């Protein structure tokens, strides 16, 4: 049965944030709110976390995982960013965007797209996530919590608890989140391509 933690959406309680980070360090899987719906998250070094996320979402090995970063500096250690992408991504973050880019050797191979050797990266604008990332001190392996058969992410902690009570270890409640997932921009081939339209305006990358 998942632990249900009620965290303040603007001023997250440090005690609860530490509990979540300790759980991540023990290779537990969390469901947490972001600025574009709920997501599933685990520590990057958690080998079972990736497989649990794929199983919950009903996805295969070709799924693009996302590494959620606290800032642009951390993001730059994980992916190769050319000059035009650098300026555009920096201007758009933090925000509801995920960027698919070629991964650096810092990213474990098991987290990469099997053919493209790419990975998603994102810098969210949500107080709870930012507090988690500050305390964790490393990126969070993540995937938007869209359940099989759904087209939108989960938005309410109590509903996530009800749906996934025996599949995740912690559910963080911090009020209702937006129902739109991130806008995904694939920059892996040199020019930006909109892979998914979501909460972020894609037009800023296509002008």
**What are 80's two structure tokens?**
């190769």
Percent of the chain with pLDDT over 90: 85
CATH assignment of the domain containing 105: 3.90.870.10
Question: Helix (H, G, I), strand (E, B), or coil: what is residue 55?
Answer: helix
The two beta strands, 140-144 and 66-68, are antiparallel
Tens of pLDDT, residue by residue over 168-189, are 999 999 998 988 899 999 999 8
pLDDT at 113: 86
Tens of pLDDT, residue by residue over 53-63, are 999 999 988 88
Tens of pLDDT, residue by residue over 18-52, are 999 999 999 999 999 999 999 999 999 998 999 99
pLDDT at 130: 96
CA dihedral 81, 185, 187, 59 (to 10 degrees): 110
What range does the domain containing 160 cover? Answer: 3-205
**What are 52's two structure tokens?**
């649990």
Q: What's the number of domains the chain is made of?
A: 1
Q: What is the pTM of this model?
A: 0.94
Closest listed residue to residue 168, CA positions, set 150, 139, 145: 145
Task: Band the pLDDT of 207: cuts 50, 70, 90.
Answer: low
Task: Band the pLDDT of 114: cuts 50, 70, 90.
Answer: confident
Summarize the confidence of residues 69-92 as an average pLDDT.
92
């Amino acid at each position: 049965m998942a632990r249900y933690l009620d965290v303040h959406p603007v001023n997250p309680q440090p005690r609860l944030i530490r509990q979540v980070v300790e759980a991540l360090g023990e290779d537990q899987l969390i469901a947490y709110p972001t600025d574009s719906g709920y997501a599933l998250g685990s520590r990057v070094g958690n080998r079972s976390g990736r497989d649990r996320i794929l199983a919950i979402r009903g996805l295969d090995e070709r799924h693009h995982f996302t590494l959620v970063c606290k800032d642009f500096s951390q993001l730059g250690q994980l992916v190769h960013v050319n000059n035009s992408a650098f300026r555009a991504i920096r201007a758009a973050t933090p925000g509801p965007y995920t960027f698919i880019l070629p991964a650096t050797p810092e990213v474990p191979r098991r987290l990469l797209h099997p053919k493209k050797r790419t990975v998603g990266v994102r810098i969210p604008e949500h107080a709870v996530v930012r507090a988690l990332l500050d305390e964790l001190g490393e990126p969070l392996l993540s995937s938007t919590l869209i359940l099989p058969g759904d087209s939108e992410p989960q938005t309410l902690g109590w509903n996530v608890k009800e749906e996934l009570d025996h599949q995740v270890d912690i559910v963080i409640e911090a009020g209702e989140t937006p129902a739109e997932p991130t806008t995904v921009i694939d920059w892996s081939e040199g020019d930006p391509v909109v892979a998914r339209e979501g909460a972020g305006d894609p037009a800023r990358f296509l002008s």
